[in-house]
């Protein structure tokens, strides 16, 4: 039986889809069988982020409504071993499926895959309820901004009251030079406020935009800092104990790279 992980955030635009895409790809690169499920019905995007948008025939709603078999709707990503995508419907809305149907769907998927990764829509309404219905693990993505952290806090409360205990946090798009001069909340600030376990910290990285432009997950890029952060997250997910990249210390990996790129201006 596979694990069903929902990637959620409350607020939109914090990097749920990018996180789901990179986690899925990373797990597949580690030899796991993975299916990425786009639960954002009506606003699908996991397909374009993965570069698989031209291969969609059937979607999640078709499967739920019995228009096609589950196998027929799964798109195999030929670049990676054992990575599949189940795209969302684009022309329907979130009420096209209900939580019971999602539970059944994720249940069926766990029989075939080691990991089922659900990309949750923004918000706390029907789409959110659908996405978390079949999950047995939750990952909350936030950025170091008051709006995103506030929404993350709300989502954590909703997850816990829905029985998804101990969600894990990914802090996305942290800018080391802003943290250094005290103009961006640091990791400790956010852990202190949200009081959940940290799964990873992903630095702001232009290569995310470049890789998304191309439809290639950044985790496969050796030189990318964000890619490195995602590789660490995947290793932690599979039970490895990986230390967090050092953001604060001058001798840390980040500082060295920052110096390399001339970001490390003393103030």
Binding test (CB under 8 A) with other proteins, winner from 102, 184, 218, 219: 184
- The one among 52, 120, 185, 219 contacting other proteins by CB under 8 A: 185
In the set 111, 163, 165, 182, which binds other proteins (CB under 8 A)? 182
Among 34, 83, 122, 149, binds other proteins (CB under 8 A): 149
Cβ closest to other proteins, residue 85 vs residue 190 = 190
In the complex with other proteins, the residue whose CB is nearer, 181 or 259, is 181
The least distance separating other proteins from the CB of residue 16, rounded to whole angstroms, comes to 21
Query: How far apart (Å, rounded) are the C-alpha atoms in residues 182 and 155?
Result: 27
Report in angstroms how near the CB of residue 145 gets to other proteins at its nearest.
Answer: 8
Tell me the HSE value of 239 on the side-chain side, using a 13 A CA sphere: 1
Q: If DSSP states are collapsed to H, E and C, what string results for the chain?
A: CCEEEEEECCCCCCCHHHHHHHHHHHHHHCCCCEEEEECCCCCCCHHHHCCCHHHCCCCHHHHHHCCCCHHHHCEECCCCCCEEEECCCCCCCHHHCCHHHHHHHHHHHHCCCCEEEEECCCCCCHHHHHHHHCCCEEEEEECCCHHHHHHHHHHHHHHHHCCCCCCEEEEEEECHHHHHCCCCCCHHHHHHHHCCEEEEEEECCHHHHHHHHHCCCHHHCCCCHHHHHHHHHHHHHCCCCCCCCCCCCCCCHHHHHHHHCCCCCCC
Residues within window 46-65 making contact with other proteins, judged by CB under 8 A: none
Only one residue has tokens 């170091």, namely 144
124 contributes a contact to other proteins by CB under 8 A: no
> Taking CB under 8 A as the rule, does residue 146 contact other proteins?
yes
CB of 136 to other proteins, least distance (A): 24
Residue 248 binding other proteins, by CB under 8 A: no
Q: Which of residues 188-247 bind other proteins (CB under 8 A)?
A: 189, 192-193, 195
Q: In the complex, what is the shortest distance from the CB of residue 177 to other proteins, in angstroms, rounded to a whole number?
A: 12
Least CB distance to other proteins at residue 191 (A): 12
Q: Which is nearer to other proteins, 3 or 153 (CB)?
A: 153
CB of 165 to other proteins, least distance (A): 14
Give the footprint of other proteins on this chain (CB under 8 A).
144-146, 149-150, 153-154, 157, 179, 181-186, 189, 192-193, 195
């Amino acid at each position: 039986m596979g694990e069903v992980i929902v990637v959620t955030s409350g607020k939109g635009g914090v990097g749920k889809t990018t996180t789901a895409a990179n986690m899925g790809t990373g797990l597949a690169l580690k030899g796991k069988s993975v299916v990425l499920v786009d639960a954002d019905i009506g606003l699908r995007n996991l397909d374009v982020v993965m570069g698989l948008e031209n291969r969609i025939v059937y979607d999640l709603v078709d499967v739920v409504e019995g228009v096609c078999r589950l196998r027929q709707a799964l798109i195999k990503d030929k670049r990676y071993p054992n990575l599949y995508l189940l795209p969302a419907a684009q022309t329907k809305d979130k009420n096209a499926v209900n939580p019971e149907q999602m539970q059944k769907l994720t249940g069926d998927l766990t029989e075939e895959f080691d990991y089922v990764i659900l990309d949750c829509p923004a918000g706390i309404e029907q789409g959110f309820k659908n996405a978390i219905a079949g999950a047995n693990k939750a990952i909350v993505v936030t950025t170091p901004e008051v709006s995103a952290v506030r929404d993350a806090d709300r989502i954590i409360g909703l997850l816990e009251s829905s029985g998804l205990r101990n969600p894990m946090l990914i802090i996305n798009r942290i800018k080391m030079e802003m943290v250094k001069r005290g103009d961006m909340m640091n990791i400790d600030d956010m852990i202190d406020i949200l009081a959940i376990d940290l799964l990873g910290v992903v630095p702001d990285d232009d290569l995310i935009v470049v890789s998304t432009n191309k439809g290639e997950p950044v985790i496969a890029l050796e030189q990318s800092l964000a890619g490195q952060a995602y590789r660490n997250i995947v290793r932690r997910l599979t039970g490895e104990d990986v230390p967090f990249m050092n953001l604060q210390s001058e001798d840390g990996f980040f500082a060295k790279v920052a110096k390399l790129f001339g970001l490390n201006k003393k103030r």
